Amino acid sequence: MNVPDDLKYTETHEWIRIEGDQARVGVTDHAQEELTDVVFVELPTVGDKVAAGASVAVVESVKSAGDIYAPVSGTIVAVNEALVDSPALVNTDPYGEGWLFTLKLDAPEEVAQLQDAAAYRALLGE
């Protein structure tokens, strides 16, 4: 399972990449595999204020709908519009073209509470 070392992770299988005072969020390789073929992504709205742990997006496969939680608190500053027409990017490139949204961090200290790659691999039992 692909778990890049430079990202932080949540127990609910989101990844987060810190880019200055913003953070980019997506779902992990493990999550996309569990979801199966993604056919629809419901994205948050730019400007939404979200609290860490709040449900902010829904990724739907043929099989089921999965809630996506904000790893940290902040304001949504961008969403991946490409997913509207190409939701399968979540499967083919979960850490790249399949990103979901970016948010401006409210409390950068929250990032320290997320898991690093080693801890996330342990969670997956690897």
Partner 1 sequence: MVDFGGWNMPVQYTGILDEHHAVRNAVGVFDISHMGEVFVSGPEAANWLNQVLTNNIERLEPGECQYTFLLNPDGGVIDDLIAYRLEEGRYLLVVNASKIDEDVAWLQSHLAQGVTLENRSDEFAGLAVQGPRAAVLFDRFFEGKISRPARNEIKRYDACCTTVWIARTGYTGEDGFELFFKAEFAPTIWQSILEKGSDLGIRPCGLGARDTLRLEMCYPLNGSDLSASHTPIEAGMSFFVDLEKPDFIGRSKLAEQRAQGVSKRLVPFKMKGKTPPPRSHYKIFKNGEAIAETTSGTLSPTLGIGIGMAYIPSEFARINEEIEIDIRGRRFPATIEKKPLHRK
Which residues are near partner 1 by CB under 8 A? 36-37, 39-40, 42, 58, 60-65, 84
Question: Least CB distance from residue 37 to partner 1, whole Å?
Answer: 5
Question: Least CB distance from residue 120 to partner 1, whole Å?
Answer: 22
Question: Least CB distance from residue 64 to partner 1, whole Å?
Answer: 8
**Cβ–Cβ < 8 Å for 14, 114:** no
Nearer to partner 1, 39 or 52 (CB): 39
Q: What is the DSSP string of 46-97?
A: TT-EE-TT-EEEEEEESS-EEEEE-SS-EEEEEE-THHHH-TTHHHH-TTTT
For the beta carbon of residue 103, count every other beta carbon within 10 angstroms.
26
Nearer to partner 1, 36 or 113 (CB): 36
